[in-house]
Amino acid sequence: MSPAEFVSPLQSQETDVLIVGAGPVGLFAVFELGLLGLKARLIDTLDRPGGQCAELYPEKPIYDIPGLPSVSGQELTDRLMEQAAPFEPEFRFNQRVEGLSKRADGRFQIVTDAGEVHVAPVVFIAAGAGSFTPRKPKVAGLEPYEGKSLFYAVRKRSDFEGRDLVIVGGGDSALDWTLDLLPSVKSLTLVHRRDKFRAAPHSVAAMEQAVADGRMKFVMGELDSLAGENGALSAVTIRNKAEVTTIEADRLLTFFGLNIELGPIADWALDLEDGKQITVDTEKFQTSTPGIFAIGDINHYPGKLKLILSGFHEGALAAQEAFRIARPDEKLRFQYTTSSSELQKRLKVA
């Protein structure tokens, strides 16, 4: 056994199926796997279940879920969580899957960016359009500064105490952190491409008052360049048409919202369509690697429709094959929830 493969029992966390993505399709897969007696663990970069439904359109009604003439993204998530609850799924939020490898015992091992190691005989990739990651400024040479003097989120307030801070953005995150950090920084300059803000009006009013009082500055324009050495920022330049302004700063926070990208899954040696969709068969929704399945918006096959209902169907069929892999010595019995006392026991209704 190679050192990379050795995992102590404490670190190694085993389950039947690892599901990458806790959106609607991943959640319904928990249900279909659960009916077959399989346990699932879901890993998601977001801090809660629901995927795009919860992150992009929690309040917007969806009209094409069978049996639910109108349901909001959040309500659909809540109902799927309720439906999956009898099967006690485990969730690992705020974690991004990084590496996937096959072990000598035939099972798969997934390592997350939080350093957790998960082991299972079957993997379902239900990652939608990919993982949500902060959009970065389109400025050359950002890397040396990242995590040292350039941040895309506030993890520790102490990173900014007593600093000359520049915040870029015009939404709630930018305005909320401007007002929150203002009392503890040495100086603060807010930068936005226009003088209109989409943030809550009371935050905008409080920011404008702070500018009027001389407690902070507002500069209209776009981030143009960073200056500094070895990741230690000393100044940023802001461009507004032909005009360029230099601001001395040793901390920079940018809030450009979230981008959706495939991320490390692209490096898992699975066959892809257009470099973005994972190719699967339409019998089992299995990828080019047996034991790894792709369901929902992330997969591709002839005739594919990116609809939530398609993902539900795909999960149900993939679960059948997952059972054959995870329980090679058992026979798969097809049963209905209306008549099977075994299924009703698993559903905790009998």
Partner 1 sequence: MAEFTVTKRDGTRETLEGVDGWRLMELLRDYKTGIEGICGGQLDCASCHIYVDPDWVDRLPAPRDDEEAKLDELPTWEENSRLSCQIIWGEELDGLAVTVAPD
Which residues contact partner 1 by CB under 8 A? 52, 56-57, 60, 129, 135-138, 169-171, 192-194, 196, 198, 222-223, 254, 256-257, 260, 274
For the chain, the residue count is 350
Taking the least distance from each CB to partner 1, the nearer of 255 and 293 is 255
Q: In angstroms, rounded to a whole number, what is the distance separating the alpha carbons of residues 192 and 311? A: 39
Helix axes 172-181, 201-212, angle to 10 degrees: 40
Taking the least distance from each CB to partner 1, the nearer of 191 and 325 is 191
| Longest CA pairwise span in the chain (Å) | 75
Residues 6+ apart with CB under 8 A from 3: none
Q: How far is CA 100 from CA 38, 85, 111, in A?
A: 21, 27, 7
Q: How far is the CB of 241 from partner 1 (least distance, A)?
A: 8
Q: How far is the CB of 198 from partner 1 (least distance, A)?
A: 4
Taking the least distance from each CB to partner 1, the nearer of 60 and 186 is 60
Which stretch of DSSP H or E encloses residue 173? helix 172-181
Q: How far is the CB of 324 from partner 1 (least distance, A)?
A: 33
Per DSSP bridges, beta strands 258-261 and 131-134 are antiparallel
Could you tell me the sign of the dihedral formed by the alpha carbons of 106, 268, 142, 254, in that order? negative
Q: How far is the CB of 279 from partner 1 (least distance, A)?
A: 17
Taking the least distance from each CB to partner 1, the nearer of 156 and 196 is 196
Which stretch of DSSP H or E encloses residue 291? none
Helix axes 24-35, 73-84, angle to 10 degrees: 20
Q: How far is the CB of 242 from partner 1 (least distance, A)?
A: 12
Taking the least distance from each CB to partner 1, the nearer of 121 and 170 is 170
Q: How far is the CB of 58 from partner 1 (least distance, A)?
A: 10
